[in-house]
Structure 1
Amino acid sequence: MLLGAFGDDFTGASDLANTLARAGMRTSLTLGVPAGPAPADDEAVVVALKSRSIDPAEAVRLSLGATAWLKANGARQILFKYCSTFDSTPSGNIGPVAEAVLAVLDAPLALVCPAFPGTGRTLYQGHLFVHDRLLSESGMERHPLTPMTDPDIRRWLQRQTPLKVGHLPHAVVRDGTSSIRSALAEAAGRGERLVVADATSNDDLIALGASLRDHAFITGASGIAMGLPANYGIAPDRATPAFVGAEGPAVILSGSCSQATRRQVDIYAQDHPHRAIDADAVMNGSLKLDALIDFIETHRNAAPMLYSSADPEAVAAAQARHSRQVLAERIEGLFAELARIAIERGFTRIIAAGGETSGAVAGTLGNAVLAIGPEIDPGVPALQLRGTKPVAMALKSGNFGAPDFFAKAVTLLAGKA
């Protein structure tokens, strides 16, 4: 293994694995920290954690466990992957995790770069944009778990950690690798341990990656990984194993409430079987698991969709009635049970939308290892379970994907173009 990484949710980890695979690295995705050694032929391994919205101390514990396993399996460099919208709270986990890993790796500093221009996330003057909107005006300010109300990543991160936070401005990044390396050395001399880097294009990310050849620890969204494989002499035109896919029944489980996912749900529902999961019905027990299983069985050959996706106002009202944490746990538990039973009954294509939903769904596979297949939409690869069970998956971040994502995923997971 050359590069070891861990992501703070399952969709983000699959996004990173996709970026590394497209850059030419032989990459696998593990669901949690494996009990055994890493696959012998992999150059990069991404460990998917479910640590974004949990207690910071537990997030640190899980992240250090992943770091220790990756180092023990030969990783020369560690990458901590979080969302390109920096999903966290002022008391959130990105700062504490970065601080803890810096300490165990005895690294002088780490870059912080959530930019991912391919999905409209850019960083300029330390401020994060989603397309032409500041992060705090993009809809993320209404996120039910991690409302992002300040677009200044320097300021947001400084609220999470006592470490000194610095800034690498776009003028330096644009000037190229030599200037970036000099600026990072100067930042270390000033005692800055976490340095937020501007990036507005893929060229910026590639320049940053080339500048990080000798850095033990890096943090960012998946875009920061674009320039890392070249540091190991790996080119994106290397041949990769063919994706086989799975031809059995498909089911879609959507829990994201993002604007992108709600649009995707609306489009898919126009000509496919679908059923909404009402939060109140889940909490009062009037919605039974058996009824949902009967629904997907009835439509098992038509790729049915079950979804709890709703507009932010409806979600906020349900959270007020039932408690945010309790409601989230019940919905996630329901999706996990649906996925487990669906796989038991021969569904071989599972598509999950939303970070928490994807974590719950993929968690039913245990500490599985997944091979990386072709990209469905930017940031979302097809995944194939390694081993004898013919299961293909897509784990989609709520904000990712084109309007017709679900239909494309159903087709591509079957191994069809």
Structure 2
Amino acid sequence: MMAASTARLGWYGDDFTGATDTLATAAQAGLRALLFMGVPTSVQLQRAGPLDAIGIAGAARAMDPEAMRAELEPVGRFFAQMRVPVLHYKVCSTFDSAPQVGSIGVAVHTLRQHVENRFVPIVGGQPSLGRYCVFGNLFARAGSAPSVHRIDRHPTMSRHPVTPMQESDLRLHLAQQALQPVPGIDYPLYAQPLAHQEAALDAMLAGHPAAVLMDASRPEDLQAVGQLVWRRAQQARLLAVGPSSVVQALATQWPRAAAAMDARPLAAAQGPVFVLAGSLSPVTAQQVRMAVSYETVPVDVASLVEGGDAAAQAMADRLAALLRDGRSVLAVTAGSASGGATAHAVAQAGGRVLARVLAQVALRRIGIAGGDTSSLAVQSLAAWGLSYQASLSPGVALCQLHSDLAALDGMEIMLKGGQMGPGDLFERLLHGGP
């Protein structure tokens, strides 16, 4: 049986890219943080040492409700045993989800059974990533472009291939996922005295809501959110939902450690870099076009999926040969003909290729683009944890892999969602920079 920890925070990332963003946020706030590849064993916890924040990387965002419950139930039991004051269910900052895929409602109903507090805050925005929640409605930038779009009119998220966002009011969006009622705390309340804010929250909780949506459009909003959430978490353990802004908000209430790992320049890679790009996002497409230092290799997705292990091995052999020649390689699955294969099958095939490449070539730095691709590709590796190394851009972190295999232990890995990062991101991964 595992002993309770002294950690202030436990988080589960509904995909690996988002989980690493929260890892970076926690480390930059001065927390001793480590992201595990699943519910950690007592031996892994012992190897990690004292932690202020314990993360679990998952793939619930791509699961149906039954699979989500099976995935999240042991997560809830683990964090209940650890007695963390805040259990954070980390979702994408664009909240893309649906009743049958990655349902936030299913996650809340499953995890709230493992906390005592009836208050379930949902933080609706993350200003540092260009995500703004105002009067319950979500707005977002597209990549690094300055323009901001209502989420149901967003050029990418409104057309997401699996979970298109067709409703900007997050309360209505969540109601479609059996999470209701969800009253909202609108940002003007944050300017009121704390006693007034607390009274308003008490009045909402008297109606026994499923959750409470909290606006977040400015950094100062997060301080007010953090104060309300942390005060309640100290009274009884609670479940909080949202992007990494949940941790940003809580960090405003915690003393900043002297060893805080601020965003810092990235050193150039030692040796060639391998990047697997499986995102359909226009942002990732631009990053592929600007990756002039790489040998770009289009991957025939249909052949890869239909050909199974043999096709994956043949592709891995080709990529490994280029890497052994000292060339950095960008393998691009996005945009190629899928032959009707599901996104999940494509991501799994990418994972098989990655594992076989790494079995042939000792690399010190790799990158994976795409939420599902990242989740399934990392699961194909014999790794048990990730720790934060450096920031490439807001929302994109470089992490260090922890594995019992010497060839993988210490390898640097970038996991990024489709919408994240500037156009020259893959060039930064190779050459370093701010």
**1:19-71: per-residue Cα shift (whole Å, max 9, x none)?**
11111111111111122253332100111111112111221232221122123
Give the Å deviation of 1:201.
1.3
Give the corresponding residue for 1:118.
Answer: 128
Maintained 8 Å contact 1:4/1:44: yes
SS in 1 for 2:205: helix
Cα distance, 1:106–1:239 mapped onto 2, change above 3 Å = closer
Over aligned residue pairs, what C-alpha RMSD do you find? 2.5
Cα distance, 1:245–1:405 mapped onto 2, change above 3 Å = closer
**Inter-partner Cα distance in structure 1 for 2:398 and 2:257:** 18
Maintained 8 Å contact 1:13/1:81: yes
**1:78-99: per-residue Cα shift (whole Å, max 9, x none)?**
1110001102014442011112
Cα distance, 1:118–1:189 mapped onto 2, change above 3 Å = same
**Inter-partner Cα distance in structure 2 for 1:367 and 1:64:** 22
Give the Å deviation of 1:297.
2.4
Maintained 8 Å contact 2:293/2:427: no
Query: Which residues in structure 2 correspond to 1:16-415 (within 5 Å)?
Result: 16-36=22-42, 38=45, 39-92=48-101, 93-131=103-141, 132-138=148-154, 139-161=156-178, 163-175=180-192, 177-213=194-230, 214-215=232-233, 216-231=238-253, 233-235=254-256, 237-240=258-261, 247-268=270-291, 270-283=292-305, 285=307, 288-300=311-323, 301-310=326-335, 318=338, 322=340, 326-344=341-359, 345-366=361-382, 368-386=384-402, 388=406, 389-412=409-432
Give the Å deviation of 1:77.
1.7
Cα distance, 1:283–1:398 mapped onto 2, change above 3 Å = same
Cα distance, 1:63–1:120 mapped onto 2, change above 3 Å = same
Cα distance, 1:279–1:386 mapped onto 2, change above 3 Å = closer
Cα distance, 1:219–1:166 mapped onto 2, change above 3 Å = same
Q: Which stretch shifts more, 259-268 or 52-61?
A: 52-61
Maintained 8 Å contact 2:179/2:211: no
Determine what percentage of the aligned residue pairs are the same residue: 25
Cα distance, 1:366–1:67 mapped onto 2, change above 3 Å = farther
TM-score by structure 2 length? 0.86
Question: Aligned pairs, how many?
Answer: 402
Cα distance, 1:302–1:208 mapped onto 2, change above 3 Å = same
Maintained 8 Å contact 2:286/2:423: yes
**Inter-partner Cα distance in structure 1 for 2:273 and 2:369:** 14
SS in 1 for 2:366: strand
Maintained 8 Å contact 1:13/1:29: yes
**1:306-339: per-residue Cα shift (whole Å, max 9, x none)?**
01122xxx77xx5xx52xxx43233112211122
Cα distance, 1:104–1:372 mapped onto 2, change above 3 Å = same
Structure 1 stretches of 5 or more lacking a match? Answer: none
Cα distance, 1:349–1:137 mapped onto 2, change above 3 Å = same
Maintained 8 Å contact 1:123/1:198: yes
Maintained 8 Å contact 1:164/1:193: yes
Cα distance, 1:100–1:196 mapped onto 2, change above 3 Å = same
TM-score by structure 1 length? 0.89
Alignment-mate amino acid for residue 331 of structure 1: V
**Inter-partner Cα distance in structure 1 for 2:402 and 2:27:** 16
Maintained 8 Å contact 2:388/2:400: yes
Give the Å deviation of 1:7.
1.0
Alignment-mate amino acid for residue 103 of structure 1: Q
SS in 1 for 2:118: coil
**Inter-partner Cα distance in structure 2 for 1:190 and 1:239:** 40
Alignment-mate amino acid for residue 408 of structure 1: R
**Inter-partner Cα distance in structure 2 for 1:180 and 1:33:** 36
Maintained 8 Å contact 1:353/1:396: yes
Structure 2 stretches of 5 or more lacking a match? Answer: 1-6, 142-147
SS in 2 for 1:52: helix
Cα distance, 1:136–1:229 mapped onto 2, change above 3 Å = same
Q: Which stretch shifts more, 209-218 or 398-407?
A: 209-218
Cα distance, 1:401–1:234 mapped onto 2, change above 3 Å = same
Give the Å deviation of 1:240.
4.6
SS in 1 for 2:183: strand
Alignment-mate amino acid for residue 306 of structure 1: A
Maintained 8 Å contact 1:34/1:367: no
Give the Å deviation of 1:239.
4.5
Alignment-mate amino acid for residue 337 of structure 1: R
